[in-house]
Amino acid sequence: MASGSLKSNVDLLLMGVLRHGPAHGYAIIASLRERSDGGFELAEGTIYPALHRLEQAGLVESSLQTAQGRRRRTYALTARGRKEFSAQRREWQGFVASMEAVIA
């Protein structure tokens, strides 16, 4: 049973946010912070390289949009990304259950 690396955990977190719908980078960062009650304060330098990596892997797609006169890149899960998210979430839940069994 693998615990996963920080990189794969960040990927899982990002896919978890994007499963609720497309979002731009700052909205993703805010959602991570809000949903984790401040537990995940990830910097742009962590988020954007991970989003690009997910996009190169075909798990996320991006598009440029204009809002209030500003262009921003919006990210969304692909069908492949939704499947990968589900698989990684099951693996994570199994890991957590195993840890709980040992430390509880």
Return the pLDDT at 3: 44
Q: How far is CA 63 from CA 14, 25, 66, 94, in A?
A: 17, 12, 10, 34
Residue type, 42: L
Burial of 68 (0-12, 13-18, 19+ CB in 10 A): exposed
Domain range annotation of the chain: 6-103
- Does 90 score more than 90 pLDDT? yes
Class of the CATH domain delimited by 6-103: mainly alpha
Q: What is the CA radius of gyration of the chain?
A: 15
The model's pLDDT over 47-83, given as tens digits with 9 standing for 90+, comes to 999 999 999 999 999 999 887 888 999 999 999 999 9
- Does 33 score more than 80 pLDDT? yes
- When mean pLDDT is compared across 8-12, 27-31, 59-63, the lowest value belongs to 8-12
DSSP alpha helices (H): ranges in the chain? 6-18, 25-35, 44-56, 79-103
